[in-house]
Amino acid sequence: MRVHVADHPLITHKLTVLRDQSTSSPMFRALVEELMTLLAYEGTRGVRVDEVTVQTPVSLARGVKISDPKPLVVPILRAGLGMLEGMVKLLPTAEVGFLGMARNEETLQPTTYAERLPDDLSDRQCFVLDPMLATGGSLIAAIEFLFDRGAVDVTAICILAAPEGLAAVEKALAGREVTIVLGAVDERLDEHGYIVPGLGDAGDRLYGLV
Ligand code: PRP
Ligand code: URA
């Protein structure tokens, strides 16, 4: 498993505003989308491409185009939905599948309540989007779900992670073809499984309390 922390100053700047509890929900949504576009730039470094040749007005030029089958982007509902637009801005030809997961706030165990994905993911390159990697339970379950469907190459893009969750993902998915791209790794988890200092509940800040 590879982990890449994209600690670019623009990312850190936007992340700082995102963390601020006085940031409004419309601003929070806009920042998540912008951060996603910056993280997508890092997260798609390994996107599969084929070599092509095009005719410029002057001569032939060698280049690349994104391979078929196109990448599959999988936002984890709810909070991952806030990242989707930022991702498809950079990868407009990607297909999108959905996984709905909710973490039980007492046990911290995730349950999957919705799924809309192709039955066969063999040979598909998948990009999972979820802003928060806290205990890691949701991300591990999501990636295992994709592997069970045949995926072999998964990149997860998260805005924030806790060291405990990152270690759990590394342990659970050791030896698999997984890349994790992060905006930052925070200090720790608190006793409620929240990232410290974190940004609070990403789903609630994007879409309101449930
Ligand atoms: C949040 C977050 C992750 C999960 C992270 O979702 O978006 O999916 O918690 O926690 P974990 O690493 O401990 O599993 P939540 O379950 O609150 O659902 P929501 O997106 O609908 O708010
Ligand atoms: N989910 C969130 O939205 N925030 C956290 O800090 C942990 C889990």
Q: Where are the domains of the chain?
A: 2-207
Q: Per-residue pLDDT tens for 62-118?
A: 999 999 999 999 999 999 999 999 999 999 999 999 999 999 999 999 999 999 999
Q: d(Cα 147, Cα 141) in Å, to the nearest integer? A: 10
Q: d(Cα 138, Cα 157) in Å, to the nearest integer? A: 13
In 55-101, alpha helices (H): 81-90
CB 110 within 8 A of CB 165: no
ipTM greater than cut 0.95: yes
Q: Per-residue pLDDT tens for 31-53?
A: 999 999 999 999 999 999 999 99
Q: Which residues are catalytic?
A: 103, 107, 201, 204
Decide the pairing of beta strands 110-116 and 125-129: unpaired
Pocket test for ligand 1, best of 103, 171, 173, 185 (most atoms within 8 A of CB): 103
Q: What angle do CA 58, 62, 68 make, to 5 degrees?
A: 130
**Fold type of domain 2-207:** Rossmann fold (3.40.50)
